[in-house]
């Protein structure tokens, strides 16, 4: 790494660590993705045993994500616990309108706030970063209502800088592709159910087992549409591999399967929604 860049990252790490240390204690909403992993690593440095990373488990969590979160927590030296959330018991969440993430995060932050109060943690933290304000993120509204703090967003740290900081700190998930909840594969208006989420998960897991790293299986009723990264699309274009990919999707329970010719774009189902400002 170029010396000047390294110095800038170290300065930012020091500033973020100092800010977290001033909290005295904190509970981190921890998915194991790069954003929350960076916050957990910084909090572990700043607060030691007074930092607790908490991973929420529900049918919307993709297979393997909990094991990944546990591995990251061990690597960065943060205490880690698991809770179960019940967003599927909320009618508003199952309805799956454009505020689905608000209802999901409300369930999450209700539980984290209760846990923090019971255990005496001074703050609840999230991994939201500065780039999240340029997308549709109704979950930030739920965070504001619960007093959740976003250290990366507050410091104007965007996604590219998040990954650079994570690499500097040796966080294992520094290069991990984004892995939003399984419900994000359903178009707004398609009801969310445990069965549908499991179907999406089966299809994606089969493709991961074939070596695909960055993908989504978008759920359109009987149709499962595979989206792959630009780097991985050429592999799936080979006739034999294409047939194998489509077979994986059909084996998960879809009657029809197709591969999107356009490369994966995270959040593509939000493209018709105008972002709004969220309270921090």
Q: What is the pLDDT of residue 77?
A: 97
pLDDT band at 5 (very low <50, low <70, confident <90, very high): confident
Say if residue 280's pLDDT is above 50. Answer: no
Do 38 and 166 contact (CB within 8 A), yes or no? yes
Per residue in 153-205, pLDDT (tens digit) is 999 999 999 999 999 999 999 999 988 999 999 999 999 999 999 999 999 99
The Cα angle at residue 207 between residues 216 and 231, in degrees rounded to 5:
65
d(CA 185, CA 107): 20
The region, left, alpha or beta by phi > 0 then psi within -120 to 50, assigned to residue 189 is: left
| Overall residue count recorded for the chain in this entry | 280
Measure the CA dihedral 32/38/42/45, to 10°: 60
> What average pLDDT score do residues 12-32 get?
97
Domains of the chain: 3-169 (3.40.50.620), 182-268 (3.30.70)
Q: CB neighbours (10 Å) of residue 196?
A: 20
d(CA 68, CA 174): 12
Give the helix/strand (H/E) hosting 104: helix 100-119
Per residue in 66-101, pLDDT (tens digit) is 999 999 999 999 999 999 999 999 999 999 999 999
Q: What is the pLDDT of residue 268?
A: 53
Say if residue 42's pLDDT is above 80. Answer: yes
pLDDT band at 275 (very low <50, low <70, confident <90, very high): very low
Do 94 and 191 contact (CB within 8 A), yes or no? yes
> What average pLDDT score do residues 12-20 get?
97
Say if residue 279's pLDDT is above 70. Answer: no
Share of the chain above pLDDT 70, in %: 94
Task: Kindly give, in sequence order, each residue whose CB lies less than 8 Å from that of residue 256, ignoring residues fewer than 6 positions away.
Answer: 222, 223, 224, 250
Q: What is the pLDDT of residue 115?
A: 98
Q: What is the pLDDT of residue 81?
A: 98
> What average pLDDT score do residues 217-241 get?
97
Say if residue 273's pLDDT is above 50. Answer: no
Do 40 and 72 contact (CB within 8 A), yes or no? yes
Q: What is the pLDDT of residue 269?
A: 53
**φ, ψ of residue 212 in degrees (nearest 5):** -75, 140
Per residue in 118-163, pLDDT (tens digit) is 999 999 999 999 998 877 789 999 999 999 999 999 999 999 999 9
Do 134 and 270 contact (CB within 8 A), yes or no? no
Do 177 and 35 contact (CB within 8 A), yes or no? no
> What average pLDDT score do residues 105-109 get?
98
Q: What is the pLDDT of residue 96?
A: 97
Do 12 and 111 contact (CB within 8 A), yes or no? no
Task: Name the token pair of 239.
Answer: 């006739």
């Amino acid at each position: 790494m170029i010396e000047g860049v390294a110095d800038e990252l170290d300065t930012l790490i020091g500033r973020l660590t100092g800010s977290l240390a001033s909290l005295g204690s904190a509970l981190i909403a921890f998915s194991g993705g790069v954003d929350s992993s960076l916050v957990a690593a910084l909090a572990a440095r700043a607060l030691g045993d007074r930092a607790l990373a908490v991973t929420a488990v529900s049918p919307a969590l993709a297979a393997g994500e909990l094991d990944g979160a546990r591995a990251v927590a061990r690597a960065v030296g943060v205490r880690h616990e698991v809770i179960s959330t019940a967003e599927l018991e909320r009618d508003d969440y199952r309805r799956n309108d454009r505020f689905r993430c608000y209802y999901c995060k409300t369930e999450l932050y209700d539980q984290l706030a209760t846990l923090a109060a019971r255990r005496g943690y001074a703050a609840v933290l999230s991994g939201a970063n500065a780039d999240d304000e340029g997308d549709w993120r109704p979950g930030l509204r739920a965070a504001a209502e619960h007093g959740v703090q976003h250290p990366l967003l507050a410091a104007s740290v965007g996604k590219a800088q998040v990954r650079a900081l994570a690499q500097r700190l040796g966080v294992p998930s520094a290069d991990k592709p984004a892995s939003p909840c399984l419900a994000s594969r359903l178009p707004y208006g398609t009801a969310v159910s445990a069965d549908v989420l499991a179907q999406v998960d089966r299809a994606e897991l089969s493709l991961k087992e074939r070596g695909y790293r960055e993908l989504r299986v978008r759920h359109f009723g009987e149709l499962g549409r595979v989206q792959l990264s630009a780097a991985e699309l050429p592999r799936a274009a080979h006739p034999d591999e294409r047939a194998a990919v489509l077979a994986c999707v059909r084996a998960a329970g879809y009657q029809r399967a197709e591969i999107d010719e356009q490369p994966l774009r995270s959040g593509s189902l939000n493209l018709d929604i105008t972002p709004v400002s969220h309270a921090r």
